Amino acid sequence: MMRRYLFALGLAAAALLATLPGVAQTPQKVSVGALRLASSGAIFIAQEKGYFREQGLEVEIKTFTAAQQVPVAVTSGDVDFGVTGLTAGFFNLAGKGALKIIAGQSREEPGFQLVAYMVTNQALAKGFGSLKDFAGKRVGTTTVGSTFHYSLGLLARKYGFDIASVQLVPLQSLPNMAAAFKGGQVDAVLAPVNVARALEKDDAGKIIGWVGDETPWQLGALFTSPRLVETRRSVAEQFLRAYQRASADYNRAFNGMDAQGKPVKGPGYDELIGIVSRAVQQPPELVATGLPFVDPEARLNVQDIYDQVAFWQSQGQVDRGVDAKAILDLSFVKGHFNLPR
């Protein structure tokens, strides 16, 4: 009896000590997969400014070189969380019950020059000068099923041309896309702003528009495994609190606009551009040319997730049985918008 009493007393004392200020607690170790892109900025900010640590987490950031590698890493258990652009491959994995979207990442929004439509000089000379002229053209992309592919699908819907009439040329990487563009092997590409500006500077072609201005959409998301949600929900909540705080910092510093719709530097700009610059291993001035919109509360444009699934299903890239509602867990973040009726 005395042993049980002393054991219970010890547990109570340990619990009390854990709640006292200044008493160190062992942090929970978690990992997150991301690309070295400004769109992952909230992750880098939360890490460097200590927001994860304040939530009792010890976070390891693992970087990858392609969007599809991140959900694969979450599925395999190599990382606990992932943050990246949404692709057909992502939805296929999520549709098998391997992934849950729990918050937003970046969005394509008007005024934010993130991805450009670029046309080669040769194609321009032949009359390809409008966003309505993509039908029948050769368009370079990283892979079929990529975020670039989806952006082109939205453009096709907006301007009434058949996406099937576009000859997509999968080139696997951005350097390959740039080389094919310069060599005239494709008529056009959808390219990140830094790649597009470099191609324009080299007089290889012309930017004829921006995805965010033409077809805003939910480009990226934060996701995890259903098992983590079920068995370590408190960890997910801690992670989200730090992530949302960093997303708010990012939005205030980078996403302000003046009356003419031009970006303006907000509070903490210099510090945060330095953090993102170091994380993506690019000069601050280059990073500044392609800072996407990040919702300050990490909210999702929910209807667009449904639309993405439907598009990929129509293209035969995602199984018809995938249910958009089943891959979303909207309980972690309040105020998600554009919810389906």
- Does 3 map to a domain? no
CB neighbour class for 35 (10 Å; exposed up to 12, middle 13-18, buried from 19):
buried
Helices (H) and strands (E) in the chain, counts: 15, 14
The CATH number of the domain holding residue 295 is 3.40.190.10
- Do 230 and 296 belong together in one domain? yes
Compute the distance between CA of residue 18 and CA of residue 79 in angstroms, rounded to an integer: 28
Separation of alpha carbons 163 and 156, rounded Å? 6
Is residue 337 in a domain? no
Q: Is 193 contained in some domain?
A: yes
Would 178 be classed as within a structural domain?
Answer: yes
Tell me if 285 is assigned to some domain: yes
- The Cα 265–Cα 253 span in angstroms is 6
From 63, 58, 42, select the one nearest 235 (Cα to Cα). Answer: 58
103 with 176, same domain: the answer is no
- Do residues 166 and 293 both lie within one domain? no
Q: Is residue 88 part of a domain?
A: yes
What 3-state DSSP class applies to 132? helix
In this structure, the answer to whether residues 52 and 70 fall within a common structural domain is yes
Residues 76 and 123 in one domain: no
Predicted confidence at residue 2, as pLDDT, reads 52
Average pLDDT taken over every residue of the chain: 92
Residues 101 and 223 in one domain: yes
DSSP state for residue 59 in the 8-state scheme? E
Of 65, 12, 29, which Cα lies nearest the Cα of 174?
65
Q: Which domain holds residue 290?
A: 27-108+218-327
- The residue among 175, 194, 214 that closes a domain is 214
**Whole-angstrom Cα Rg for the chain:** 22
What does the angle CA 64 – CA 217 – CA 104 come to, to the nearest 5 degrees? Answer: 55
Task: For Cα atoms 315, 294, 229, give the angle at the middle one, nearest 5 degrees.
Answer: 70
Tokens 């549709």 found at: 95
Output the pTM of the full model: 0.88
Residue pair 287/129 in contact (Cβ under 8 Å)? The answer is no
Q: pLDDT tens digits, the chain, 341 residues: what are they?
A: 555 554 445 545 544 444 455 445 788 999 999 999 899 999 999 999 999 999 999 999 999 988 889 999 999 999 999 999 999 999 999 999 999 999 999 999 999 989 999 999 999 999 999 999 999 999 999 999 999 999 999 999 999 999 999 999 999 888 999 999 999 999 999 998 888 988 999 999 999 999 999 999 999 999 999 999 999 999 999 999 999 999 999 999 999 998 888 889 999 999 999 999 999 998 999 899 889 999 999 999 999 999 999 999 999 999 999 999 999 999 999 999 999 98
Q: Tell me, yes or no, whether 179 and 239 share the same domain.
A: no
Tell me, yes or no, whether 281 lies in a domain. yes
Tokens coding 38: 């400004």
In three-state secondary structure terms, 127 is coil
Helices (H), the chain: 2-19, 41-48, 51-54, 69-76, 88-95, 121-125, 147-159, 174-182, 193-201, 211-214, 226-231, 233-254, 269-280, 284-287, 302-314
Neighbours of 252 (CB within 10 A): 15
* Rounded Cα gap, residues 267 and 248, in angstroms: 11
Of the residues 214, 233, 257, which one is the last residue of a structural domain?
214
User: How many distinct structural domains can be found in the chain?
Assistant: 2
**Dist CA 59 CA 235 (whole Å):** 11
**Are both 80 and 103 inside the same structural domain?**
yes
H or E stretch at 210: strand 205-210
Residues 6+ apart with CB under 8 A from 95: 318, 319, 321, 322, 323, 326, 327
Q: Is residue 336 part of a domain?
A: no
Q: Do 104 and 222 have their domain in common?
A: yes
Sign of CA dihedral 317, 40, 66, 284: positive
User: 3-class DSSP state for residue 253?
Assistant: helix
Tell whether 240 and 299 lie within a shared domain.
Answer: yes
Q: Do 160 and 206 fall within a single domain?
A: yes
pLDDT digits (tens, 9 = 90+) for 40-70: 999 999 999 999 999 999 999 999 988 889 9
- Do residue 169 and residue 244 come from a single domain? no
Residue 290: CB atoms within 10 A of its CB come to 22
What is the C-alpha to C-alpha distance for residues 88 and 173, in angstroms, rounded to an integer? 17
Of 214, 229, 260, at which residue does a domain stop? 214
